[in-house]
Each structure stands twice: as C-alpha cells, then as structure tokens.
Structure 1
Amino acid sequence: MRSKKMEITVLTFNIHHGIGTDRKLDLERIARIIEHCQADVVALNEVDKHFSRRSGYVDQLGWLAERLGMNSVFGYAMSSKPARKTSLLHSRQYGNALLSRFPIIGHKNYIFASSALKLEDRALLEASILINGKPIALYVTHLSLIPFVQWKQAHMILQRMKQANLPAILLGDFNAKPHSRLWRKMTKRLTDACYQASAVPCPTYPSVRPKVQLDYIFVSHHLHIVSAEVIRMMPVASDHLPVKAVLKVQNSIEEANHSEGDRS
C-alpha cells in the first residue's frame, strides 16, 4: 500500500544580512518570519558569517539555526582572512545558507567563475536532505545582476541538477523578472512555484512596495505544488520579501512520471 504524499513547506528569503529598510540590524525579525511560515526548509541569501562590522561579526546562520532549532549549512560566495583589530580567528564569509528540519546528509559549495568585470562573487550551495528516508536535492543561489553572467551561472546550475538526478528544489534571488530570457531557460526544465500556483508573478522587491519578482522557488517534476505566496509580514525586516511554497513529495517514479506528463 502506498503511503500518503508528504507535504513540506519551503521558503526562500534574501535577508540583506539582517539589516531592514529602517537600517536596523535585527535577526530576530527574520527568525519570527520563518517561524510564522512554519517552514521545513529555508533558503537564505546575503548571509554574513563573521563578515564585518555591519553585522557585528556574528555567525548569522549559527544564530538563526540555534534560535529556530534547525539543521543548517552555509555556502560562501566571498571569503577573506579574519578582520584586523578584532579577536576573531574565523574567516570572514558572506553567501548563501540553508536551514532544514530534516537531516542534511551532504552538501557542496560551488563558486561561479569570475567575470572580467569586477563584480561581487556569487555561488551555488547544493545540499541533500532526507524526507521519509528518500533524498531530495536542494540548491540555493544568488545570481549576478548582469544578464550574460546570469546565463552562464544558470547553465552551470542546470548541469549540476542533471548530474544529481534527484527530486530537486532550486531557491534564491535570481535578479531576473518572470518571462525574462533567464526565467524561460529555467522553466524549460523546472516549474516556477508562484507562476504555477497563481499564473501571475509574486513581487518580492522592494519589500515595502514590491513591484517585481526577483526571488523564486523552482521545482522538478517529482514535486507537486500545492500553493505558493509572497509573505508580506514585517516588510521592514529586509529589502526583499520571502516566497513560501507548500509542496507534495511524490511517492513513486510512476507518480513523478505522471506529473511530468501533465507538464508536457
């Protein structure tokens, strides 16, 4: 007998290193939003780990993981030696992160190839979690602002996902609008949870009066999208709003193939 499909709640949130639109550093606001969403999996962008004075040299992911009682993994996009004039011995890092109520059984971090332009480094965090004994691949990223660089980064992500060959969720800040060339590239292989759920974009930026969607949850055909929405609770907490989706995990290859047939 087949077991019932399991629902999981996922969230993607660019937290702007905990600094809100009121210029106040307050990770507690971020934690409260995540709690409100009752998220099982949370992708975070713009996370500081002992990075600089702006965030008090705090390990922000460590703080959130302890505060929320979740498993965590960090993937840096930028890393440098400990700051001078401080007693810290840790590397200063900035990048993407993942929180999970499920066991994290493995992870890798990929720094995207540098551009000839002097741009902020970007990265892809890849992790595997176990849900009911079955692995699911999670990918967290924050793409470049430059379209031709985004295109190369997106190609690398899709190649990684193809090689993993697992049910997959791709989350993060893509710095691209719905129906853009980049969005069309992603949705040839994956489903945009917001667009599938409502057939309209989910504006996430700027947080106080959002006009454009930059943040996405893309899923492979192994996952069924139950709902998706932008979370407008406490827009002052960051310059982006988070996106939340409820997903059902398919129980069998037969069910996954049926869902793939529905998309074609």
Structure 2
Amino acid sequence: MSTPTIELISKHRSIREFSEQPLDNQTITQLINAAQMASTSNYKQAYSIIGITDPALKEALSEVAGQKHVRDNGLLLVFVADYYRHDLICRSKGYETSESFETTEGYSVAAIDAALAAQNLVLAAESLGLGACYVGSLRNDPQRIIELLELPRYTLPLFGVVLGYPAAQGSQKPRLPSKAIYHENRYQHDPAFIHSALDTYDQTINAYYDTRGAGTRSENWRDLMVKAFHPVKRQELHQIAQGQGFLQQ
C-alpha cells in the first residue's frame, strides 16, 4: 500500500540547479511553520533557521562551501544549534544552567532538533514542487560562518539547505539495501553478512556512476566510504564548537 506521502518521500533527490525565481514570503512562512512542527526533545526547540537573501552574503557562504548552488537558488537557509535564548531565559530567572548546554547530550539534542526540523521543511518544500539540497560543506569553515552570521555564544552552524524551483531534475542515488540498515532485536554485526549485503549494492552503485558519467567514472560504495573518512576532515570543528560553548564536558 502506498500513500501520497510515501510516494513523495520515494521521489526525493538533491537538486543543485535552480531557476532565478525567488521564494515568496508566503511560501517561506509555510516552510518555516512546517519545520517547527517537527518533534523536539523536551520541547526545547533548540535550533534557529537563518534565511539568506542578501546576494553578497550568499556569495560569501558559497565561497566557504565551494558550491555554486549555495549562491544560485531561490532561498538559502542555515540551520543553527541554538541555546542562546535558553541561556537568556535562565539568566533572567536567576539560574545558571550553562553546564546543561555544554554537555555532549546538550549538543546532541540541538543537532537532532535541527535535523528533524530541516527534514520536515524539505518534505514540505518538495510537496510544493520545489527542489532542495542539504549543504554540509558550510562546515568547511565554521568560524567564518559564525562571523558572517554574527552568531553569539551557545549557537553553532550545522548545515545549510538550498531551495528553489528546479532548473534540472538531477538523479536519484540508490540507497543501501534495507537488510544492511534494519536490524531486528539486536545488531547484526557478522562481517560476512554485512559484506554480502554490500556486494550487490556495490554493483548497483558502479552501474549508477557508469550511466551518470557516460562511462567516465567507475566507483563503488565501499571505495567511496574509504575516501569519505580518509583523510580526517574538519578536525577544527570540535575546537570551534567548544569556543561557542558546546562540548565542554
């Protein structure tokens, strides 16, 4: 059995080419409202969303990300882990609660809240015929993002989302087989089982890149993952997060 929601989810793909048409204020309001309806841990709503409409600021953020669709889109959003307002609230009532924000749990709550809100927003955008793409490469230089967006203590940029009316549909990357993702009752950690599940997937990915690159690219998922984790990337992020008040303990 399928539903319109399941069909919408199954058609998801990252869009990186957009028309010049900006999003109107009513649409932006709809999307932010959809984001805010996501689940949130303990009602904290520990995130903020910064809409970037200034062309010069988009250009600067695009330079950080190294991707032109961060500049050329209908709207750029930056999702931020945010305990600044919680700190203001607690201090105004005479409580010192910063230790709660500074823990790994505090960071995890804010990051998860932001991710849930973003996925709600992306699904809402796609239901309106818009395209979207997550932008993790804003973390290439998080200190620069902090400076550009004037982020105070207890806030941290996590990722961006670009939105707009698609100028090209792009392609949909095949996902891992469900048996490699879904475990029942306990984790299936047998290496032979895992590699068996990945054998066919590697063939699928190889065929995907072969078709997409007209025979100029030949890669499989396991090789891509080795490249993704080696060498270690963005090692400065931990120190920058600590500078913003996160991950102190």
Please classify the TM superposition score into its range, dividing by the shorter chain length.
under 0.3
Higher relative contact order (CA 8 A, sep 6+): 2
In the superposition, the TM-score normalised over structure 2's length comes to 0.27
Q: Which has the larger radius of gyration?
A: 2
Q: Which has the higher strand share?
A: 1
